[in-house]
């Protein structure tokens, strides 16, 4: 038997698509968020970045506007990454934070929450559990865990209502007692409706951990369906994904995903009911790189034309051939049709052979109509018991939304 999701988990699933932001001292180097570790940069050398960190072009509201235009309903920002530098005022726990950085002197998390709230985007906090700066992490682990809990309590009590906390780093000490119950109790005390996530990393994608965890994680690739039958608690699923090969800004990383690949990845996530958390790595000054912003705008264009059903709809029993699948909002079904191609002569259209009859099966209820969501075109269909055959024309010449969605209305 599949358990009923708690209210906060059900609400999280309906967000569907979010922005991940990796921003910190490392952003100034433009070589990725792990550069200190991989280049063995000495502490005294790395800490010079603290004095040059200005975030002069970090505009929280503009970032929230960008996320909203991309169709993203929430943003998860690195309040502190593995380097140990915090974007928030740690209230005396450490001076290694943005308000104490001489060129910054700002609480960027305060600005972030305000910017999200102004744009109607849900703010969520990433927080590392691994810390390269805090000496107690290696010298006195119980003391470090108290420092971690105190840090999280600052986040839970000074910024109003937040959507959730996203932890990362327990995999660094696999045999250690991380005292997770104590950490999550801090959140439940101050932010009872917050989603709790703890990333299990590339080596344990989709693994369910502590009983307080609200969502499993899939890092990169494509998520697998969760078998929730017999679970004590319903957990959501979320896949975090990079636009290129790095989470933090990588000036030399030109291996960006294509808009088509990103659209198909979002669809693959929603096919199994998982959220997609798509990452941007701002430049050292806090601005989003133009190429990353343009990729996000492509996502927003697809959602505006075809993808509004990704939020309220869920996986259902209706299956399609190949990559095709269906979602339902409880009243209507939505058919996600891949590889249609563009209408036109072969000499001017490079992919015009994808049209044809598409079969969907396990369709319960009598179908009244089928239409494309992007232009309202009514589609011919034939229903034989629980099989639905839909004639899917290609995209009109001049358009190609990669994955086309058809709305099914029942009598």
CB 387 within 8 A of CB 322: no
Tell me the per-residue pLDDT of 292-309, one tens digit each, with 9 for 90 and over.
999 999 999 999 999 899
Per-residue pLDDT for 353 more than 70?
A: no
What contacts 89, CB < 8 A, 6 or more positions away? 97, 98, 99, 107, 109, 110, 154, 158
Q: What is the per-residue pLDDT for 346?
A: 57
Q: Which residue stretches of 158-250 are H helix?
A: 180-190
Question: For residue 354, what pLDDT is reported?
Answer: 72
Which superfamily, per CATH, for 7-310?
Answer: Glycosidases (3.20.20.80)
Residue 345 has pLDDT above 60, yes or no: no
Nearest to 368 by CA among 318, 326, 405, 409: 409
> What's the whole-number mean pLDDT along residues 229-242?
92
Q: What is the DSSP letter of 375?
A: T
Pairing relation of β-strands 17-21 and 275-280? parallel
Mean pLDDT of 210-214: 91
Using the Cα atoms of residue 179, residue 180, residue 183 and residue 186 in order, give the sign of their dihedral.
Answer: negative
Strand partners, 342: 395
357-381 per-position pLDDT tens digit: 999 999 999 999 999 999 999 999 9
Whether pLDDT at 228 is above 90: no
Q: Does residue 217 contact residue 240 with C-beta atoms inside 8 Å? A: yes
- pLDDT class for 352, splitting at 50, 70, 90? very low
pLDDT bucket at 204, cuts 50 / 70 / 90: low
Classify residue 304 by its DSSP letter: I
How many CB atoms within 10 Å of residue 108? 23
- Taking each continuous run of H as one helix and of E as one strand, the counts in the chain are 12, 16
pLDDT digits (tens, 9 = 90+) for 129-158: 999 999 999 999 999 999 999 999 999 999
The chain-wide mean pLDDT, for the chain, equals: 94
Share of the chain above pLDDT 90, in %: 86
Q: Are 82 and 33 within 8 A, CB to CB? A: yes
At residue 116, the 3 state secondary structure works out as: helix
CA–CA distance from 200 to each of 67, 215, 237 (Å)? 25, 11, 12
Tell me what pLDDT residue 141 has: 98
Q: Please state whether beta strands 387-392 and 195-199 pair in parallel, antiparallel, or not at all (unpaired).
A: unpaired
- Amino acid 240: pLDDT: 96
Q: How many CB atoms lie within 10 A of CB 261?
A: 11
Residue 91 tokens, joined: 């209230």
Burial class (CB in 10 A: 0-12, 13-18, 19+), 230: exposed
> Which of helix, strand or coil describes residue 164?
strand
Residue 175 contacts residue 191 (beta carbons within 8 Å): no
pLDDT of residue 187: 98
What one-character DSSP code corresponds to residue 221? S
The three-state secondary structure class of 213 is coil
Q: Which residues lie closer than 8 Å to 147 by C-beta, 6 or more apart?
A: 93, 134, 136
CB-based contacts of 257, cutoff 8 Å, min separation 6: 243, 244, 265, 295
The stretch 13-20 carries a mean pLDDT of 98
CATH fold for domain 314-410:
Immunoglobulin-like (2.60.40)
Segment 73-98 shows an average pLDDT of 98
Nearest of 212, 221, 328 to residue 271 by alpha carbon: 328
pLDDT at 403 over 50: yes
Neighbouring-strand partners of residue 369: 409
- The fraction of the chain above a pLDDT of 70, given in percent, is 96
Q: What is the pLDDT of residues 157-179, one digit of tens each?
A: 999 999 999 999 999 999 899 99
Nearest to 129 by CA among 113, 156, 151: 151
Q: Residue 203: is its pLDDT beyond 70? A: no
Is residue 206 very low, low, confident or very high in pLDDT (cuts 50, 70, 90)? low
Per residue in 267-286, pLDDT (tens digit) is 999 999 999 999 999 999 99
What is the C-alpha to C-alpha distance for residues 64 and 377, in angstroms, rounded to an integer? 34
Q: What's the rounded Cα separation, in Å, for the pair 207 and 186?
A: 23
Q: Where are the domains of the chain?
A: 7-310, 314-410
Determine the average pLDDT of the residues in 229-246.
93
pLDDT at residue 2, as a whole number: 86
Asked if pLDDT for residue 48 goes beyond 50, the answer is yes
Could you give the dihedral angle defined by the CA atoms of residues 350, 393, 259 and 373, in that order, rounded to the nearest 10 degrees? 160
Pick from 17, 64, 1: nearest CA to 273: 17
């Amino acid at each position: 038997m599949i358990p009923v999701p708690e209210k906060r988990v059900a609400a999280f699933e309906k967000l569907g698509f979010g922005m991940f932001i990796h921003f910190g001292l490392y952003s100034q180097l433009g070589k990725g968020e792990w550069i200190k570790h991989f280049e063995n940069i000495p502490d005294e050398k790395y800490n010079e970045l603290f004095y040059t960190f200005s975030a002069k072009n970090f505009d929280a509201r503009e970032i929230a506007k960008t996320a909203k235009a991309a169709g993203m309903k929430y943003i998860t920002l690195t309040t502190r990454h593995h380097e140990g530098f915090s974007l928030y005022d740690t209230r005396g726990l450490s001076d290694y934070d943005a308000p104490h950085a001489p060129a910054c002197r700002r609480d960027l998390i305060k600005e972030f929450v305000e910017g999200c709230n102004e744009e109607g985007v849900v703010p969520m906090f990433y927080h590392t559990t691994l810390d390269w700066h805090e000496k107690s992490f290696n010298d006195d682990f119980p003391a470090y865990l108290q420092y971690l809990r105190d840090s999280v309590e600052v986040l839970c009590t000074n910024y109003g209502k937040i959507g959730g906390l996203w932890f990362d780093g327990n995999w660094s000490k696999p045999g250690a007692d991380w005292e997770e119950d104590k950490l999550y109790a801090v959140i439940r005390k101050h932010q009872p409706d917050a989603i709790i996530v703890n990333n299990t990393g590339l080596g344990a994608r989709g693994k369910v951990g502590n009983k307080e965890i609200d969502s499993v994680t899939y890092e990169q690739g494509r998520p697998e369906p969760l078998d929730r039958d017999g679970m004590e608690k319903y957990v959501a699923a979320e896949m975090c994904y990079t636009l290129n090969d790095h989470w933090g800004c990588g000036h030399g990383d030109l291996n960006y995903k294509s808009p088509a690949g990103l659209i198909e990845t979002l669809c693959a996530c929603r096919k199994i009911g998982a959220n997609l958390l798509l990452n941007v790595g701002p430049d050292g000054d806090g601005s989003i790189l133009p190429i990353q912003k343009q990729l996000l705008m492509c996502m927003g264009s697809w959602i505006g034309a075809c993808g509004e059903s990704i939020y309220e709809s869920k996986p259902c029993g209706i299956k399609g051939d190949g990559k095709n699948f269906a979602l339902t909002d409880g009243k209507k079904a939505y058919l996600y049709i891949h590889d249609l191609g563009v209408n036109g002569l072969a000499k001017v259209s490079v992919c015009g052979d994808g049209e044809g009859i598409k079969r969907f099966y396990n369709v319960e209820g009598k179908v009244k109509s089928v239409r494309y969501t992007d232009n309202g075109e009514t589609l011919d269909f034939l229903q034989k018991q629980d099989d639905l055959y839909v004639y899917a024309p290609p995209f009109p010449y001049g358009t190609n939304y990669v994955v086309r969605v058809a709305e099914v209305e029942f009598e």
